[in-house]
Structure 1
Amino acid sequence: MTNRSGGRNRNKRGEGGKLRDELIAAASRLLETADGQESLSLRAVARAAGISPQSLYLHFADRRALLTAVYEVRFAELANELAATSATDPPTRLREICHAYCEYGLRNPGHYRVLFGTAGTPGWEPTDAQLPGLPVFRSLVEAVNDCGGVDRSDDSSDDSSDDPSDDPTATAICIWAAMHGLITLRQDRPSFPWPPLPHLLDTLVTAHLGTTP
């Protein structure tokens, strides 16, 4: 918050957490329009929040720490959207999770770009237990796993143990990639005659799991 002279009003004692939240919000806004995370500078974030760069270092040791906080907040929002699904039937729950994911991306294009249009926090391994987006991906894997894999009632082969479609993680990755494509293409090509999103997601889930709506 700025005062009439253009400077930022001081937070009251004990409101340091409020400034931290403001810095995360400022960094997120800049990332929504920046050309990748590498173009984000701490000086620009401090300027957007109306504070001195020195004050920013009281809350974040470096740019990576700030970026990590941004991803944690945005991914927590997305995780909450997915957790709000209420269906108990596994295929229906998977469809609801997919719908909630796509609706979040289409409703919050800036936030979605921060999560998946930038490179992510540098130096992190995909297997890192602290990766901010891991709970979101795990919820998708769990939903796929609860569906029991692909329907093989019409499969006459005796040995399908090596079929990659038996792997819920691989299936979840394919579904995630397809949802990401739907979100970005619907945003980038709005003139295309897109079928309703629920129909596309039903088609997507059915194609990967062999289930019916």
Structure 2
Amino acid sequence: MLGDVIQPLKRRRAPRGSGEQLREEILDAATELLLETGHAKAVSIRSVAQRVGVTPPSIYLHFADKDALLDAVCARYFEKLDEQMQAVSDQPSSIEVLRAQGLAYVRFARDTPELYRIATMGEGRPGSDVDLTLNSSAFMHLRTSVEALIAEGVYPAGDATAMALELWTAAHGVAAMLVAKPYLPWGDAEEFADRVLRAVCLGQIVGGMIGTDVAPSDTVARLKEFAEGIHQ
């Protein structure tokens, strides 16, 4: 759960002058405060400094301002997500890799709901460390899987970035709803996430075969014809 993913947050006092260790202590303290308060606005440079046991100017030696500090916290969070998505990439086929990555994304969000909410649903700034981390981790994994499926002829030839964005949007939507509304009748959350992600993934495949410009009713008719042909 959260403790296995983000922890340990217990700080080890570093020798005086150890700048990198102090930076990690600052990030740990800011993460702790975010988890305790559940909101970035409740975290200040002064409160982080008090938690670490240093003066506010010591924080500014490592982070230009509060926004830079929070960006670094979120960037470290997405590095952990990157590790989780890499850990499930050993699958028998590209389509199973994509499925496992989507489920790992949703699972990570459910295990770390407070940080996920802050990192993905807060106000972002173009060019921030968070944007850079997203571009190099979760989204890149999905796009690489989509590119593999296109090369294999499973996915239609097209814009891999756009298709990966569709899948990422679905994964984020599922994760956000499970985090924000856990009390709704989802049933088994893992199975629910799998059904939604499977529907989007297969929808992209079917759309590539039949055509995205075909009316939904015509798509249903063609699929019925296909199913009847199989059973004849």
TM interval, short-chain normalised: 0.7 to 0.9
Alpha-carbon displacement from aligned partner over 1:149-172 (angstroms, at most 9, x marks no partner): 7656xxxxxxxx8xxxx3221121
Alpha-carbon displacement from aligned partner over 1:10-39 (angstroms, at most 9, x marks no partner): 63245432221121122223344454x455
SS of the equivalent of 1:193 reads: coil
Shift of 1:132: 1.9
User: 1:74 touches 1:111 (CA, 8 Å); kept in 2?
Assistant: yes
1:167 to 143, 154, 159: 159
- Gap change, CA 1:189 and 1:69, over 3 Å in 2: closer
Does 2:204 correspond to 1:208?
Answer: yes
Equivalent residue number for residue 90 of structure 1: 94
Does 2:5 correspond to 1:12?
Answer: no
User: 1:186 touches 1:194 (CA, 8 Å); kept in 2?
Assistant: no
Shift of 1:208: 2.3
User: 2:45 touches 2:56 (CA, 8 Å); kept in 1?
Assistant: yes
Alpha-carbon displacement from aligned partner over 1:150-196 (angstroms, at most 9, x marks no partner): 656xxxxxxxx8xxxx3221121121111111112123142313351
- The letter of the residue matching 1:198 is D
SS of the equivalent of 1:11 reads: coil
Equivalent residue number for residue 146 of structure 2: 144
Q: How does 1:121-200 map to 2 (within 5 A)?
A: 122-124=125-127, 131-136=132-137, 137-148=139-150, 151=155, 166-187=158-179, 188-194=181-187, 196=191, 197-200=193-196
Relative to the length of structure 1, the TM-score reads 0.74
- The letter of the residue matching 2:183 is P
Equivalent residue number for residue 47 of structure 1: 50
Which residues of structure 1 form unaligned runs of 5+?
1-7, 153-160
SS of the equivalent of 1:61 reads: coil
User: C-alpha distance in 2, partners of 1:123/1:179?
Assistant: 22
User: C-alpha distance in 2, partners of 1:66/1:51?
Assistant: 15
Equivalent residue number for residue 76 of structure 2: 73
- The letter of the residue matching 1:138 is M
Larger fraction in helix:
2
User: C-alpha distance in 1, partners of 2:110/2:38?
Assistant: 19
User: C-alpha distance in 1, partners of 2:160/2:126?
Assistant: 27
User: 2:146 touches 2:155 (CA, 8 Å); kept in 1?
Assistant: no
User: C-alpha distance in 2, partners of 1:123/1:182?
Assistant: 24
User: C-alpha distance in 1, partners of 2:108/2:168?
Assistant: 13
User: 2:26 touches 2:52 (CA, 8 Å); kept in 1?
Assistant: yes
User: 2:167 touches 2:200 (CA, 8 Å); kept in 1?
Assistant: yes
Shift of 1:46: 1.3
- Gap change, CA 1:146 and 1:41, over 3 Å in 2: same
Q: Which has the higher contact order (CA 8 A, sep 6+)?
A: 1
User: C-alpha distance in 2, partners of 1:72/1:167?
Assistant: 27
Relative to the length of structure 2, the TM-score reads 0.69
RMSD: 3.0
- Gap change, CA 1:190 and 1:207, over 3 Å in 2: farther
User: C-alpha distance in 2, partners of 1:97/1:76?
Assistant: 15
